[in-house]
Chain A
Amino acid sequence: MSASALADDLALSVYDPATAGNDAGAPTAPATGGEGEPHGRHREARLGSTDKELKSGAAAADSVRTAPGTPRQRGEVMDAAGGSRNTLPRPCHVLVLLNPRGGKGKALQLFWSHVQPLLAQADVSFTLMLTERRNHARELVRAEDLRRWDALVVMSGDGLIHEVVNGLMERPDWETAIQKPLCSLPAGSGNAVAASLNYYAGYEQVTKEDLLTNCTQLLCRRLLAPMDLLSLQTACGQRLFSVLSLAWGFIADVDLESEKFRRLGEMRFTLGACLRLVALRTYRGSLAYLPAETLASRRGPSPARAPQDPADTHVVPLEQPVPPHWTVVPEQDFVLVLVLLHSHLASDLFTAPMGRCSAGTMHLFYVRAGVSRAMLLRLFLAMEKGRHMECHCPHLVYVPVVAFRLEPKDGKGVFTVDGELLISEAVQGQVLPNYFWMVSGYREPPPSLKPQPSPRRKSQQMLPPSERP
């Protein structure tokens, strides 16, 4: 199958679930409860069955839980009326989960100064909930009555989005819960998701308050887009989901002396990061992956293929060797391995300039041992503008993949998933295409895999779709 045919196929399944018919992963209508809208009433009637699930938590827990990633019953929640499944209603009511310690303690202040005024003008009413500690958001979301909100707005860093998505997937009603639209407002270290959405919306790369304002405007405009989810399995049988990235090695290592965890969001090269170079070491392990190209050539012509179960399509249990059609990187010393679902690793690290991945694909980067401190420094400096691939570093390898497996060989591996610490002997994962919704800035299909320099808008004014370049 040609790449463009595949893209067409994916584009169909991404943007028009009604006609795709055979895609197991496309999201279905977000279950909103908009007031005064015909769609709202229509959905409420169907929500009756969901209501019962949400109310009787105990009963739901007793019921057989379908494994996350199995194909959902698409007929039940499809919005036959069409149209507004890709936008939030107007007016809408959102839950804002805010970490007051984010943004150097200024997150709450920033909410009132930069976010609230815009929301007020845009008929977005909100309820503010402050998170008090790690996993607080996760617990809240697990237990929350989601019908109360049209969207969950996360104002913090990538770690909080990670908690919210995992909290949703941990619910007994995860299949409907994961359809609740999310929004990322950056206020913390590590705002790669917000920066990526900013980039996809066609805005110039900005940071801090400018990025916050851009993302708030996206929320006010209410457009939603489907997002991929990375489903991960660890050696001890733990299952978790990533919205952005998994990293191992240089980016992820924990300093065991100080027990201070190198957070992904602080990747920008500064004094502390320079010290990291002083203690530069390598990490021994083996890596295997399923290239997107291999998958495309194996699938053959569509559209008659049977719906596939996303959970089991690509990965086999960790105890078994990887399938024969995977690519194996023999055991060796690495400096870092990174799988990345989006364009940015931090608000000023444009890590994947090669173009947005098509649904179901993610970026795999790895750096082999032997790279000099100077080259590594140069790569990260160039990454601010997305020019690191032009360094032609022979130790840096890039492949678009749909699944991977990583097995550290010198003790337990230290990984960072969306900036959060994970320690495991081995980890593997695959992308679940179009698994949840986020407030975003576009409706057209994502750019092709060829890098396309497009004029970046300097102003924060968002042009209506008809006037976009």
Chain B
Amino acid sequence: MGGSGSRLSKELLAEYQGSTLTGSLPSARAHRRFCELLPQEHRSVEESLQARVSLEQILSLPELKANPFKERICKVFSTSPSRDSLSFEDFLDLLSVFSDTATPDIKSHYAFRIFDFDDDGTLNREDLSQLVNCLTGESEDTRLSASEMKQLIDNILEESDIDRDGTINLSEFQHVISRSPDFASSFKIVL
């Protein structure tokens, strides 16, 4: 537990490279930021690699705070059974998917999971409505009215639901998202 012990060695970093979802080299900065969320006395390398950080703490990171989908993002990357905490590996996975090195395919795959609020494998009207509420906020004066919401969801389905089954599946979603010029900038987190 010395001073130098709280920094990941190059060898350890390289070991992690193989295990992240996109194969990119995790930065020492990511490790530092993760450690900052741990209690002072538990920031050694060995402990940090075993520790789990609660969702609330991850959500306090400034880079995530402003993202309207921050809760879903954390839930999707959490590997704990109750999906309420992130290990360092989970954290690295999150960062790698949101980095510049992730392919659009990987990003859109995870975006789909993030928007699938009920985790049933498709985006139905309820999922889309929750998506919109994340954007607008849920307080009385900001959320859309029922008719505005219907209009928007009708527009979305008309554009995206190619097989007209009332829901958006992964491939329909990826098809639409890949054409969007805004996807990359809205799905980016850089520490």
Contact = CB atoms under 8 A, between A and B. Distances in A.
B143 A374 contact: yes
B10 interface: no
Contact of B186 (A268, A275, A377, A384): A275
Interface in A263-292: 268-279
Contacts of B14: none
Contacts of B5: none
Interface stretch (A91-99, A254-262, A310-318, A359-367): A254-262
- Which of A261, A278, A373 is the most central at the interface, judged by chain B CB atoms within 10 Å of its CB? A278
B131 interface: yes
Contact of B142 (A260, A262, A374): A374
Contact of A255 (B67, B68, B182): B182
Contacts of A277: 135
A272 B179 contact: yes
Interface residues of B, number: 33
A436 B100 CA distance: 48
Contacts of A260: 179-181
Contacts of B131: 274
B185 A279 contact: yes
Interface stretch (B21-29, B38-46, B47-55, B147-155): B147-155
Interface in B133-191: 135-137, 142-144, 148, 151-152, 155-156, 158-160, 173, 176-177, 179-188
B181 to A, nearest CB: 3
A254 B151 contact: no
B132 interface: yes
Contacts of B151: 381, 384
Contacts of A378: 144, 148
B129 to A, nearest CB: 12
A327 interface: no
A262 B148 CA distance: 24
Nearest to A256: B185
Contacts of B179: 260, 272
Nearest to A274: B135
A257 B136 contact: no
A66 interface: no
B182 A377 contact: no
- Which of A254, A260, A271, A384 is the most central at the interface, judged by chain B CB atoms within 10 Å of its CB? A271
Majority SS at the chain B contact face:
helix
Interface residues of A, number: 26
B136 A271 contact: no
B68 A381 contact: no
Contacts of A271: 156, 159-160, 173, 176-177, 180
Given A257-B184, A278-B182, A272 B177 contact: yes
Given A278-B135, A374-B136, A272 B180 contact: yes
B176 A278 contact: no
A302 interface: no
Interface in B81-109: 100
A262 B155 CA distance: 18
A260 B176 CA distance: 13
Nearest to A382: B148
Contacts of B156: 270-271, 274
A332 interface: no
Contacts of A258: 181, 183-184
A278 B137 CA distance: 12
A262 B182 contact: yes
Given A260-B180, A269-B155, A374-B143, A276 B186 contact: yes
- Which of B100, B143, B151, B186 is the most central at the interface, judged by chain A CB atoms within 10 Å of its CB? B186
B13 to A, nearest CB: 26
Contacts of A268: 155, 159
11 contacts: A255-B185, A257-B185, A257-B188, A260-B180, A260-B181, A261-B181, A268-B159, A279-B186, A372-B136, A373-B135, A374-B135
Interface of B: 67-69, 100, 131-132, 135-137, 142-144, 148, 151-152, 155-156, 158-160, 173, 176-177, 179-188
Given A254-B181, A262-B181, 12 more contacts: A257-B184, A258-B183, A261-B181, A262-B182, A271-B159, A271-B180, A372-B136, A373-B137, A374-B137, A374-B142, A377-B144, A381-B148
